Amino acid sequence: SDTTSNAIPANLPLRNDLIGEEPYGAPQLDVPVCLNVNENPYAPDPAVCETIAERVKAIAPTLNRYPDREHVELRQAFSDYLARESGVRLDVDELWGANGSNEIMLQLFQAFGGPGRTVLGADPTYSMYPEYARDTFTGWELAHRNDDFTLNVDRLIERIEAVKPSMVLLTSPNNPTGTPLAHEDIERVLAVCETAEVAGAREGVHPIVVIDEAYIEFRDPGVPSAVELIKTHANLAVSRTMSKAFAFAGARVGYLAASKGIIDCVRIVRMPYHLSAVTQAAALAAFEHTDEQLSRVNHLRETRNATAAWLKQLTYKGQALDVADSQSNFLLFGGHLDNREAIFEGLLERGVLIRVVGPAGWLRVCMGTDEEMEAFRTALTEVLNELD
Ligand code: PMP
């Protein structure tokens, strides 16, 4: 269903730096088993659907009016959710919602990036970040992770000093590797950023640190969230989403937790009325059913651990598969798959869609239902036998 840009007429005044670019996105194919975009595979239950329908019906007669631009009721719901999920109570003015954490991230780049500014990330990481940078004329630089995909904090700090970024963007758990960030590592980066310089900014301006926690609810019990550091660090912003653990990707709701100062910067660049009344009503309905929406997270965590153990006992060309330690709902596996495209295609022929992403030699699979994982295991066993 994807349309590509390669038919763009040459006489259109497309921005010079966008000529030859393709719209980003994983293929949306009609395949029985979709394990490629890290969704929660479980549909909302009928009670949730009922509440969504009621809430949307209730606001339908007001759709001639613009929605609450400040989405205060929804920001209160984010606060209640985080208090329950991470044990931290934030104020409404320390929270902000948007159409997916994709839009949150774009707003951060719009507010803190721009010409002459650079954002620093740690690769391998989420492939949308360089696109936000491109779209906002922001520089994009990297500090490479260690071989086991953990953050190399010393290298990151060296890069902060050399690059002088306005924003350090880290992902925890990281996509596509699933690697979590240790609290003490985040605190070290925050401390450095409190005094680091920003290229292209006035004197006395220091970088902010953004932690993208899109998958954080899949962490093991006891692992902390960076949300816990917000009240004590005005230079920290944590991005969250309802798309993954919360099983609400189709509604497009992400949110940002940060000091009021950072939220106020983001408010400058947002489109007026960016969150529709329908979106706000649907999200409030889903939060009324938080227990049901999160009810499969434990099971998906167990599926991840069992699938990691299963993958580790497979071999390819006489060598056991590597599996990156994951605190997320997906696994990066392989390490030495010298023909990952052929493996991907072999799985697709058997009705299983995964993702060719990450460093060469690796593939990523997202956790599905028990039946979907069974189909994945059968297909992968066949494909590896065939290609070995
Ligand atoms: N951050 C990361 C690391 C992601 O993997 C994704 C989705 N693939 C997003 C943000 C965006 O998710 P959404 O816009 O649905 O919140």
Residue pair 277/59 in contact (Cβ under 8 Å)? The answer is yes
Domain residue limits at 349: 5-43+295-387
For the four alpha carbons of 111, 116, 122 and 124, in that order, the dihedral sign comes to positive
Across the range 76-89, mean pLDDT stands at 97
Q: Is 328 in the pocket of ligand 1 (CB under 6 A)?
A: no
**Does the pLDDT of residue 42 top 60, yes or no?**
yes
Measuring from atom 5 of ligand 1, which residue has the nearest CA? 175
Looking at the structure, tell me whether residues 377 and 229 fall in a common domain: no
Residue 214 C-alpha to ligand 1 middle, in angstroms?
6
DSSP per-residue letters across 3-66: --GGG--TTS---GGGTT-----------SEE-SS----SPPPHHHHHHHHHHHHHHGGGTTS-
Which atom of ligand 1 sits closest to the CA of residue 103? 14
Q: Is 254 in the pocket of ligand 1 (CB under 6 A)?
A: yes
Per-residue pLDDT band for 26 (boundaries 50, 70, 90) equals: confident
Looking at the structure, tell me whether residues 275 and 375 fall in a common domain: no
Residue pair 83/130 in contact (Cβ under 8 Å)? The answer is no
Looking at the structure, tell me whether residues 38 and 101 fall in a common domain: no
Looking at the structure, tell me whether residues 214 and 67 fall in a common domain: yes
Looking at the structure, tell me whether residues 185 and 158 fall in a common domain: yes
**Residue 93, Cβ neighbours under 10 Å: how many?**
15
Average predicted confidence (pLDDT) for the chain: 96
Q: Is 100 in the pocket of ligand 1 (CB under 6 A)?
A: yes
- All residues at 6 or more sequence positions from 372 whose CB lies less than 8 Å from its CB, including other chains: 33, 35, 41
Pairing state of beta strands 330-334 and 322-323? antiparallel
Looking up tokens 């299963």 gives 310
Give the CATH number, domain containing residue 366: 3.90.1150.10
Q: What pLDDT is attached to residue 288?
A: 98
Measuring from atom 12 of ligand 1, which residue has the nearest CA? 101
Residue 385 C-alpha to ligand 1 middle, in angstroms?
34
pLDDT in tens, 57-73: 999 999 999 999 999 99
Closest CA to 133 of 170, 103, 106: 106
Q: What pLDDT is attached to residue 28?
A: 86
Q: Is 212 in the pocket of ligand 1 (CB under 6 A)?
A: yes
Residue 146 C-alpha to ligand 1 middle, in angstroms?
23
Across the range 285-304, mean pLDDT stands at 97
Residue 316 C-alpha to ligand 1 middle, in angstroms?
31
Looking at the structure, tell me whether residues 29 and 72 fall in a common domain: no
Q: What pLDDT is attached to residue 369?
A: 98
Q: Which of 293, 322, 344 is the last residue of a domain?
A: 293
pLDDT above 90: percentage of residues in the chain: 94
Q: Cα–Cα–Cα angle for 55, 85, 172, nearest 5°?
A: 110
Q: What pLDDT is attached to residue 1?
A: 41
Looking at the structure, tell me whether residues 59 and 38 fall in a common domain: no
Q: Looking at the whole model, is its pTM more than 0.95?
A: yes
Looking at the structure, tell me whether residues 217 and 279 fall in a common domain: yes
Q: What pLDDT is attached to residue 24?
A: 85
Residue pair 207/165 in contact (Cβ under 8 Å)? The answer is yes
In a 13 Å sphere around the CA of 251, the CA atoms on its Cβ side amount to 28
Of residues 1 and 278, more confidence is placed in: 278
Alpha-carbon distances of 323 from 115, 119, 225, 331, 361, rounded to whole Å? 39, 29, 23, 7, 12
Per-residue pLDDT band for 6 (boundaries 50, 70, 90) equals: low
Cα distance between residue 326 and residue 322, in whole Å:
12
| Tokens matching residue 9 | 């007429």
Of residues 164 and 23, more confidence is placed in: 164
Q: Which of 275, 293, 311 is the last residue of a domain?
A: 293
Give the CATH number, domain containing residue 280: 3.40.640.10
**Residue 53, Cβ neighbours under 10 Å: how many?**
13
pLDDT in tens, 107-160: 999 999 999 999 999 999 999 999 999 999 999 999 999 999 999 999 999 999
Across the range 280-292, mean pLDDT stands at 97
Looking at the structure, tell me whether residues 233 and 306 fall in a common domain: no
Residue pair 93/257 in contact (Cβ under 8 Å)? The answer is no
Across the range 349-374, mean pLDDT stands at 98
Looking at the structure, tell me whether residues 231 and 375 fall in a common domain: no
ipTM: 0.99
Across the range 367-377, mean pLDDT stands at 98
Domain count, the chain: 2
Q: Is 243 in the pocket of ligand 1 (CB under 6 A)?
A: yes
pLDDT above 70: percentage of residues in the chain: 98
Looking at the structure, tell me whether residues 68 and 186 fall in a common domain: yes
Q: Which of 238, 261, 293 is the last residue of a domain?
A: 293
Which atom of ligand 1 sits closest to the CA of residue 102? 14
Looking at the structure, tell me whether residues 250 and 116 fall in a common domain: yes
